[in-house]
Amino acid sequence: MIKQLIESSQLFGTNAPFVEELYENYLENPGSVSDEWRSYFDALQNTPGNGRDVAHNPIINAFAEMAKRGPVRTVVETGSDQKQVSVLQLINAHRFLGTRWAQLDPLKRTERPEISELELSHYGFTEAHLNESFNTGSFHGLPGDRATLREILDAVRQTYCSTIGAEYMYITDIGEKRWIQARLEPVRGKPAFKAEHQRRILERLTAAETLERYLHTKYVGQKRFSLEGGESTIVAMDELVRVAGRNGVQEIVVGMAHRGRLNVLVNTLGKAPSMLFSEFEGKAAADLSAGDVKYHMGFSSDVMTEGGPVHLTLAFNPSHLEIVNPVVEGSVYARQTRRGENGKAQVIPVLIHGDAAVAGQGVNQEMLNFAQTRGYGTGGTIHIVVNNQIGFTTSDPRDYRSSLYCTDIFKMAEAPIFHVNGDDPEAVAFIMELAVEYRQQFQKDVVIDIVCYRKLGHNEADEPMVTQPLMYKKIAKHPGTRKLYADKLTQLGVMKDGEPDQFIKDYRAALDKGELLSNPVLSDFKRQYAQDWGPYNGKPYTDQCDTTVPMAELKRLTEALTTTPAGFTLHPRVKKIIDDRKAMGAGELPLDWGMGENLAYASLVVQGFGVRLSGEDVGRGTFFHRHAALHDQNRDEWHNGTFYPLKSIREGQAPFYCYDSVLSEEAVLAFEYGYASAEPNQLVIWEAQFGDFANGAQVVLDQFISSGEAKWGRQCGLVMMLPHGYEGQGPEHSSARIERYMQLCAEHNMEVCIPSNPSQIFHLLRRQAVRKLRKPLVIITPKSLLRHKDAISSLDDLSKGTFQTVIGEVEQLDANKVKRVLLCSGKIYYELLAHRRANNIDDIAIVRMEQLYPFPADAMAAEVNKYPNAKEVVWVQEEPRNQGVWYWLASRHHLDSNLSVDHKFLLVARPAAASPAVGYYAKHNAQQKAVIENAFGEIKA
């Protein structure tokens, strides 16, 4: 069969890509092709003078020549055919490995490694072969389809071994690889910029360098995390904005850590230098309760490009470096969603990394893993690595990463990676243009690794010679990228003598005035898709709202929630749940938690509030209670096998999004924070599979959710649902670590609630969306309580009720007879109630604290004061005494300050423990029994 194919001229017409793809598959995995093809390809490899093939695409051209000569031989003899194949192997060896010989380091500290596949001798060639002519295959860098070996070698080395090192041959899609080759190879990695463009590049380099040196002398010793040595970053950013605007982009959201941040703020986003100087001098407005250091601050502006105005946003970021990246992705996703089907083309995320952090911090792997998923993919991110070849004080590659390049992590997402020498700003600009166009064309991530250096220490007070003496001797002798490029343009006649120095003087003069030399910012531009946060500003948390829904509407919503498409086959257990929900809507059964929650979502989407629900297994619900996603038992989800009733409640409703997330907490929670921070008109919820899974996202809680408003003035209505309850599932599946959230509570920064019945979760979720207040909400949700026979509500509770921060005693007790009041939250309430009923106790009242923060002091005091003879107020919790709510309550005096002097404030809890819960089921039961019994017995203070 192969003989017939090779002898067929049609094979080398429109069918040529078929053979090319077969060969590329063979190179990746010889077992992936048939035995006949493998034997043929093996023959090409095992020929005298031929080393191990490093893979190539244009083998098809060699096949064409061989086809003219008849059948395939089992062994290919040395001759013109084999030499032609070897030339094509040489070309592709440079496509694969040329970056190893590329001139990337401005400090020139490393010698060129020995790579035999890049040497002529590896293929049996000598100097005598240099003038022989060969077919150039798919290589674009030479005129015509034939050239001498000398011309081919010069072309591939100029393209792949100069100041650009391209890594892309691992990409699966052949079309993407061809696209990159068609842009790199014709110009051999050397753009032909016009003089005007070159002058602009020098102006940007001048702006970057001069700002840093100006700040260094004006504010001696103050931290700014200088960009000196990496000034080409500003060239890259300038090119990014211009090319993106030309390609239809209308918004760019940037995330970066502190290195070079002030430079980007001034020279890319157009922040007035006078504003920056005020921050250095401590004169900036202090209208936030905490504020933040200047190199963490965000900014936004509108700039004009030849393609129209582009809105630029630099996200606020703490010193946790890469954690801002998924926050940016979430913000971008929200902005794209707001724009509709063209959103991914019009809004792009840009992330600027440090070389040590991008390889060292795991949040990047989490983020790359969801980069192409439905609920989190933003259509490709442009990554810029400011690679100053030193991680804080660690520059020995044996110590700070295990891979060859710091960018190797991006290969998991099949993102092309372009390493560029920072001393070649034209190459930086050229690659940025390619990167923007690639992202727009293929909607995938792309990476630009600017290999540069750090002129000063980690901060301006640091002395780098202590740890990197030889490196910094070279840096001290380096004239700087701006000087090198200015000299080049002067030699080329693009600049006159003295002009580069005049650029510096002009920029310094502008800085002295506190102004930009050229101000691209549009001061009066009104964006079509700008989000108005005005209605939410300055609202007190005590504002009330109506969360009721009319009874008739609840019944209509129930009908929509329980109707599935014709022919849709539900699992028997799910069908029972749906049938029960129909009965609940008809008033025949009391509402359970899942029904209360789904009715909250349904009522919101018809009221105009979108709902976004994400997390691990949120569609079904980890504990089989939600069923917002229904699965046909006869069709998979790729063939309309998944149905979301909440998407079909009513025509014209607001959107409902439900995404089972990747197995990640840190990046996904950060993403949802970013999304909610950019979209106040949607109820955005992240649910942990178990509450303690949020442990893996602690930095998001500490640096964004709890403190983002105090530091940066950023409002966010994100909801976190954290399943919690001591039910004998061991240390990792019991506690949501409530104590951690309580410790973070201050300045009315967020709310922490533990609802205990379906009505409460219904009104709480509705309150979060309807009320004109955007604060993070932490909901400690139940597990076994989801189907507890007493944790029920009625439709009347939904149509007439409200969220109760405190729920008082529900049974008719003689108030004068009550001697003790138990305060508690969550599941333990029902266990206390059951014990009291079983033992006919009538002198102890039970009060539920449904909102822990902001603390409902008045409501709590009102309930306790109903019992004039109750001298003991007892906080009862399942958690060990050193965990849970107790220490927060006691240390803040929330109860003491609202109780009379006659009250004794006591605790019932598990003994203090290092672990959240025991792993032995029998021991768990004994502890739980003791907590309940102690609450009704004698309590030692």
Give pLDDT tens digits for 236-245: 999 999 999 9
Whether 298 contacts 324, CB under 8 Å: no
At residue 517, φ and ψ (nearest 5 deg) are: -60, -45
Question: Would you report the helix, strand and coil content of the chain in percent, each value rounded to 5?
Answer: 45, 15, 40
Q: What is the pLDDT of residue 66?
A: 45
Residues 493 and 602 in one domain: no
| Whether residue 136 is found in the same domain as residue 270 | no
Residue matched to tokens 């310094």: 508
Indicate whether 254 and 379 sit together in one domain: yes
> Cβ contacts of residue 933 below 8 Å, gap of 6+?
835
Q: What's 337's domain CATH number?
A: 3.40.50.970
- Greatest Cα pair distance, the chain, in angstroms, is 111
Last residue of a domain, one of 745, 767, 800: 800
Residue 293 has pLDDT above 70, yes or no: no
Q: Does 175 reside within a domain?
A: no
Cα(435)–Cα(240) distance, integer angstroms: 9
Task: Look at residues 772, 757, 773 and name the one whose alpha carbon lies nearest to residue 807.
Answer: 757
Residue 874 lies in a domain: yes
Q: Is residue 232 part of a domain?
A: yes
Asked which of 774, 800, 826 is the last residue of a domain, the reply is 800
pLDDT at 106: 95
Q: How far apart are CA 866 and CA 864, in angstroms?
A: 5
C-alpha–C-alpha distance, residues 718 and 694, integer Å: 14
> CA nearest 227: which of 292, 295, 325, 302?
295
Q: What mean pLDDT value characterizes the chain? A: 88
Candidate from 736-750, 884-898, 900-914 with smallest mean pLDDT: 884-898
Give the pLDDT score at 374: 93
pLDDT at 70: 41
Residues 30-82: tens digit of each pLDDT: 766 777 677 777 766 654 444 444 444 445 455 544 444 443 332 333 457 88
Instruction: Read off the pLDDT of each residue in 878-904 and give the average, rounded to a whole number.
Output: 80
Same domain flag for 557 and 502: no
Average pLDDT on 384-405 reads 86
Confidence at residue 140, expressed as pLDDT on a 0 to 100 scale:
92
Q: Are residues 222 and 240 in the same domain?
A: yes
User: Is residue 420 a contact partner of residue 163, using CB atoms and an 8 Å limit?
Assistant: yes
Contact 295, 264 (CB under 8 A): no
**Residue 730, CA distances (Å) to 188, 721, 881 in order:** 62, 20, 17
308-314 and 299-305 strand pairing = antiparallel
Q: Is the pLDDT of residue 148 over 60?
A: yes
Q: Are residues 557 and 446 in the same domain?
A: no
Confidence of residue 541 (pLDDT cuts 50, 70, 90): confident
Domain presence at residue 180:
no
Question: Mean of the pLDDT values across residues 681-700?
Answer: 94
Q: What are phi and psi of 567, to 5 degrees?
A: 80, 5
Residue 299: which of 245, 331, 262 has the closest Cα? 262
Give the mean model confidence (pLDDT) for residues 124-141: 93
Q: What pLDDT sits at residue 538?
A: 82
Structure confidence at residue 394 as a pLDDT band (50, 70, 90) = confident
Query: How much is the average pLDDT of 107-135?
Result: 93
Question: What string of H, E and C letters represents the secondary structure of 731-774?
Answer: CCCCCCCHHHHHHHCCCCCCEEECCCCHHHHHHHHHHHHHCCCC
The DSSP H or E segment spanning 250 is none
Measured between alpha carbons, how far is residue 470 from residues 297, 455, 473 in Å? 35, 13, 5
CATH number assigned to the domain comprising residue 888 = 3.40.50.11610
Q: How far apart are CA 36 and CA 40, in angstroms?
A: 6
Predicted local distance difference test score (pLDDT) of residue 670: 96
What torsion, rounded to 10 degrees, do the Cα atoms 288, 292, 298, 301 define? 50
φ and ψ at residue 456, rounded to 5 degrees? -105, -170
Same domain, 591 and 656: yes
Q: Rounded to an integer, what distance in angstroms lies between the CA atom of residue 495 and that of residue 202? A: 10
Helical residues (DSSP H) of 773-885, grouped into ranges: 795-800, 828-838, 857-864
Cα(244)–Cα(268) distance, integer angstroms:
14
Residue showing tokens 């509450």: 691
pLDDT band per the 50, 70, 90 thresholds, residue 939: confident
* 507 and 571 belong to one structural domain: no
Please check whether residue 679 is in contact with residue 718, taking contact to mean a CB–CB distance below 8 angstroms.
no
* Same domain assignment for residues 653 and 755: yes
Work out how many domains the chain is built from and give that number: 4
Any domain includes 536: no
Identify whether 540 is part of a domain: no
pLDDT, tens digit, 9 for 90 and up, residues 482-540: 999 999 999 999 999 999 999 999 999 999 988 887 777 877 788 888 888 888 888 88
Same domain, 462 and 415: yes
Average pLDDT (827-856) is 96
The mean pLDDT value for 378-392 works out to: 93
- pTM higher than 0.85 for the full model? yes
Q: pLDDT per residue over 618-656, tens digit each? A: 999 999 999 999 999 998 877 778 999 999 999 999 999
* Domain assignment present for 170: no
pLDDT at 318 over 90: no
Share of the chain above pLDDT 70, in %: 89
The string of pLDDT tens digits covering residues 246-259 is 999 999 999 998 88
| Selection from 208, 210, 214, 215 nearest residue 230 by Cα | 208
Closest by CA to 428, choosing from 243, 236, 263, 238, is: 236
Mean pLDDT of 599-626: 96
More reliable by pLDDT, 280 or 347: 347
Beta strands, E only, 112-188 = 133-135, 146-148, 164-167
Taking alpha carbons only, the member of 502, 597, 603 closest to residue 547 is 603
Q: What is the pLDDT of residue 14?
A: 36
Residue type, 410: F
Q: What is the CATH number of the domain that holds 795?
A: 3.40.50.12470
Percentage of the chain modeled with pLDDT above 90: 71
Pure H helices in 361-416: 363-369, 397-400
Domain that holds residue 390: 195-512
Of 137, 160, 183, which residue sits at a domain end? Answer: 160
Tell me whether residue 432 is in a domain. yes
- What's the token pair of residue 863? 């309930």
Map tokens 């990746």 to a residue. Answer: 28
Lay out the sheet containing 844-849: strands in order across.
806-807, 844-849, 820-824, 872-880, 904-910
Whats the size of the chain, residue-wise? 941
pLDDT confidence band for 12 (50 / 70 / 90)? very low
Alpha helices in 29-124 (DSSP H): 35-45, 59-67, 80-97
Taking alpha carbons only, the member of 252, 220, 257 closest to residue 239 is 252
As beta bridge partners, residue 686 has 614, 720
> DSSP character for 786?
G
- Tokens representing 569 are 């086959």
Is 611 strand, coil or helix?
strand
What local confidence, expressed as pLDDT, does residue 21 receive?
A: 59
Together in a domain, 788 and 843: no
Distances from the Cα of 12 to the Cα of 7, 592, 810, angstroms: 10, 67, 84
Rounded Cα distance between 60 and 500, Å, is 51
Cα distances (angstroms) measured from residue 675 to each of 378, 379, 605, 672, 697: 12, 15, 18, 5, 16
Same domain, 478 and 584: no
Look at residues 329, 326, 317, 314 and name the one whose alpha carbon lies nearest to residue 703: 317
The pLDDT tens digits of the residues spanning 410-427 come to: 999 999 999 999 999 999
Residue 88 structure tokens? 């094509």
